[in-house]
Amino acid sequence: MNAKQIAANKDAFGIAGQVAVVTGASSGLGRACAILLGCGGAKVVVNHLPTSAEAAAKVCEEIESVGGEAFPYAADVSDEDQVAAMFSDSVARFGTLHILVNNAGIQDGARFQDMTLAQWRKVIDVNLTGMFLCSREAIREFLRRGPQPEVSRATGKIICMSSVHQVIPWAFEVNYAASKGGVNLLMQSLAQEFAPHKIRVNAVAPGAIPTRINRSARETEEATGNLLSLIPYGRVGEPADIAHAVLWLASDRSDYMNGTTMFVDGGMSTFPAFRGAG
Ligand code: NAD
């Protein structure tokens, strides 16, 4: 189903009227998730960096064009005060929060011996600390509001955008791989701590989806060929592949999923280099 078909059948997804914050939603996977959740009838806060205001406004327009509600919010997810302001302003506007998609992320790789502390910290700050700060605000709001069984079986849902690199080591991208490994245990520990409150926390681990973050992996034919050799299913992913998994995890259809990572990667995490070896 594409976004328009989802918008025409929004009641089938069971998230209509719920409030969602999607971080890093002006581009790539976050944009696709925000649009699909908006088409499903969620009211969406489209988080973005100040430099991406125009793109974020377009995402909101796209949601509004199918009758949805959205507003853009500039905030750096690694900044405690900006994150707190974003969540309190979102709750002031929409009344509460039901869904958080922790999507914002960056890469800044280097040979390990050349990696600066600033590079290490920046990636950990955005990819891991950003998820800590946003999840903490979301959980505070879920606990404050309490259950709303007429809206959702879960009191709140958090979906973390992880990566196949939460399990696949990644030379020259040590800060990124470490951040995503951290996301996995952040997600699982939160799931364990808050399950008694009916708060579900899961992750999606994409393989290779062409977006800004991985431009260099497609710069030459050779690079594209190398990338495809890592994907048994024989194609790179599309943002919609990821957004559909997020939509499902946000809905009651996945109500018994908690503390789990869905790998959406065309089989990349099956270590295809071992096919026929050994
Ligand atoms: P992208 O660069 O298009 O999206 C990342 C978004 O995060 C951008 O909109 C960027 O402006 C935003 N962002 C960066 N720093 C921010 C900050 N401090 N505060 C708020 N927003 C910030 O790339 P993408 O591929 O869509 O990446 C989205 C997520 O998916 C990331 O967490 C990435 O690690 C993950 N991921 C992507 C792939 C892939 O193949 N594209 C694979 C695995 C995981």
Structure confidence by residue, pLDDT tens digits, 189-228 = 999 999 999 999 999 999 999 999 888 777 888 988 999 9
Contact (CB, 8 A) for 161 and 203? yes
Q: Verify whether ligand 1 is closer than 6 Å to residue 60 (CB atom).
A: no
pLDDT score, position 218: 79
- Cα(203) to ligand 1 centroid in Å equals 14
Contact (CB, 8 A) for 209 and 239? yes
Ligand 1 atom 21: the closest Cα is on which residue? Answer: 24
pLDDT score, position 247: 98
Q: Is 233 a catalytic residue?
A: no
Residue ranges for the chain with pLDDT beneath 50 = none
Q: Verify whether ligand 1 is closer than 6 Å to residue 239 (CB atom).
A: no
- Cα(104) to ligand 1 centroid in Å equals 5
Catalytic residue among 73, 176, 233, 256: 176
Q: At what angle do helices 53-65 and 28-39 cross, to 10 degrees?
A: 30
pLDDT score, position 219: 81
Q: Verify whether ligand 1 is closer than 6 Å to residue 55 (CB atom).
A: no
Ligand 1 atom 41: the closest Cα is on which residue? Answer: 209
- Domains identified in the chain and CATH numbers: 15-265 (3.40.50.720)
Ligand 1 atom 19: the closest Cα is on which residue? Answer: 76
pTM higher than 0.75, yes or no? yes
Q: Which of 21, 22, 26, 29 to mutate to test the pocket of ligand 1 (most atoms within 8 A of CB)?
A: 29
- Cα(161) to ligand 1 centroid in Å equals 9
Q: Verify whether ligand 1 is closer than 6 Å to residue 96 (CB atom).
A: no
Ligand 1 atom 24: the closest Cα is on which residue? Answer: 28
pLDDT score, position 141: 99
pLDDT score, position 2: 80
